[in-house]
């Protein structure tokens, strides 16, 4: 089953190389990411009840890397940045 799924992904990856993303969709995605981050920030500032417990540094850094990666991946698909000539 895994090999079949892998072959399917490899076969479809060649057609995915030529797909383009419209500038409007990149703007919409970045707007939605910004709304999500603002919502999470407002939850931390206004709703969270802090305690004496400590957060693991690895989990803290993973959160930063995740949100940085989400924004970077959306920008990387923008026309003119992805090297596809659009």
**Mean pLDDT per segment of 10 residues, for the chain of length 86 residues?**
62 57 84 92 86 87 89 80 54
The pLDDT value given to residue 62? 92
The pLDDT value given to residue 83? 57
- Quote the CA–CA distance of 84 and 25 in Å, as a whole number: 17
The pLDDT value given to residue 42? 92
Q: At what angle do helices 23-42 and 57-76 cross, to 10 degrees?
A: 160
Question: Do residues 21 and 79 lie in contact, with contact meaning Cβ atoms separated by under 8 Å?
Answer: yes
The pLDDT value given to residue 38? 93
* CB atoms closer than 10 angstroms to residue 21: 17
The pLDDT value given to residue 44? 85
Question: Do residues 75 and 26 lie in contact, with contact meaning Cβ atoms separated by under 8 Å?
Answer: yes
Q: Which two tokens stand for residue 65?
A: 């890397």
The pLDDT value given to residue 71? 86
The pLDDT value given to residue 27? 87
Q: Which two tokens stand for residue 8?
A: 């399917």
């Amino acid at each position: 089953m895994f090999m079949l799924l892998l072959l399917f992904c490899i076969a479809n990856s060649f057609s995915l190389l030529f797909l383009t993303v419209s500038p409007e969709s990149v703007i919409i995605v970045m707007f939605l990411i910004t709304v999500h981050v603002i919502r999470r920030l407002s939850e931390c500032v206004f709703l969270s009840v802090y305690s004496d417990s400590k957060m693991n540094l690895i989990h803290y850094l993973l959160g930063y890397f995740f949100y940085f990666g989400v924004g970077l991946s959306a920008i990387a698909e923008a026309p003119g940045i992805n090297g596809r000539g659009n």
